[in-house]
Amino acid sequence: MNQSVTVRVPAKINLQLAVGPLRADGYHDLVTVFHAVDLCDEVTVARADQDADRVTVSGVGAGQVPADGDNLAMRAVRALRARTGLGGNVQVQITKRIPVAAGMAGGSADAAGALVACDELWGTALPAAELSALAAQLGSDVPFALLGGTAVGRGRGEQLSPVESTATYHWVLAYADGGLSTPLVYKTLDQLRDGRGVPAPELSGELVEALRAGDPLRLGRALGNDLQAPALTLFPALNETLEAGRALGSLGALVSGSGPTCFFLARDAEHAASLTAQLGKAGVCQSVATVTGPAAGASVADRRA
């Protein structure tokens, strides 16, 4: 019997994020193209002889993550236990590499990691569709963190269909000095739209074609994010970050999700390395990272008996 399981879970960027009107339940209907990148948090869940679940968080931005029952990974543990009736108390250990409140679904990744780790530790063997439904109750981006790869998300982002994607893409991430609240970015979008009729969101055919063809030039031109305008309103310094990436010859430049992380598409690994070095020197962001995608979804990295 395993005593602990470690799961690695990727961050995401949104290659397209088309946002429809505000729904009665406070969410927005979306059409989005999620893309997992090889920047991963690690979630270890261990059996623990204690009176309650406990969590510790270390790594990038750990101080900003709640280390109590409100932690999304802890909510995932309780949700799986309630759903299956299995499992004793656990010790959850989260090692963060995905920046917090950065538009890269780091919290969602930790929830997905905890679901996969507990499923393995407790032997619940929940079918993928049921695990995904449980994930959707925890947050709109959690099902994609389970799936990984590249996928179209509809509804509030939880209804997924994988996109055929042959190539590996090289991305440069520019981390901002500070975070953005996702609900505030959506609210600001509604305010910018000022009650004007908002059409139903539509998938970009050009983006899907570019992915099928594995053509970074076309992909760069087809990137789009309706949350970019409100993110720029709330965080005007990002204009400079995006402009610097464009001027340095990136194939596409976009705010990731609700921001404030910006991402840039490079031609290849060499171009990504040079973009990373130059953006780092330009003084337009807090720090820079190079990643590739698509990356696998939440997967077991280690088991300890």
Q: Using DSSP bridges, classify how beta strands 90-96 and 28-47 pair: parallel, antiparallel or unpaired.
A: antiparallel
Residue nearer to ligand C5P on the CB measure, 71 or 250: 71
**Known active-site residue 281:** no
Is 141 one of the catalytic residues? yes
Among 14, 38, 104, 6, CA closest to 296: 38
Residue 148's SS3 state is: strand
- Minimum separation from the CB atom of position 91 to ligand C5P (A): 25
Instruction: Determine how β-strand 262-266 pairs with β-strand 252-255.
Output: antiparallel
Q: How far is the CB of 275 from ligand C5P (least distance, A)?
A: 30
Parallel, antiparallel or unpaired: strands 287-293 and 224-225: unpaired
Please state the closest distance from residue 183 (CB atom) to ligand C5P, in A: 4
Provide the phi-psi class of 161: left if phi over 0, else alpha when psi is between -120 and 50, else beta. beta
Given 41, 53, 110, 141, which residue is catalytic?
141
Least separation in angstroms between residue 20's CB and ligand C5P is 9
Checking DSSP bridges between strand 150-154 and strand 169-175, what pairing results, if any? unpaired
**Among residues 94 and 244, whose Cβ is nearest to ligand C5P?**
94
Give the shortest CB-98-to-ligand C5P separation in angstroms.
Answer: 14
Q: How far apart are CA 135 and CA 143, in angstroms?
A: 5
- Collect all residues with Cβ–Cβ distance below 8 Å to 123 and sequence separation of at least 6: 86
Q: Which is nearer to ligand C5P, 87 or 143 (CB)?
A: 143
131, two tokens: 């695990």
3 state DSSP class of 207: helix
Indicate which residue of 12, 41, 96, 119 is catalytic: 12
Based on CB atoms, which residue is closest to ligand C5P, 157 or 297?
157
Nearer to ligand C5P, 27 or 204 (CB): 27
DSSP secondary structure string for all residues of 38-76: EEEEEEEEEE--SSS-EEEEEETTGGGS--STTSHHHHH
Q: Which residues bind ligand C5P (CB under 6 A)?
A: 26-28, 30, 139-141, 156-157, 182-183, 186
The catalytic site residues sit at 12, 141
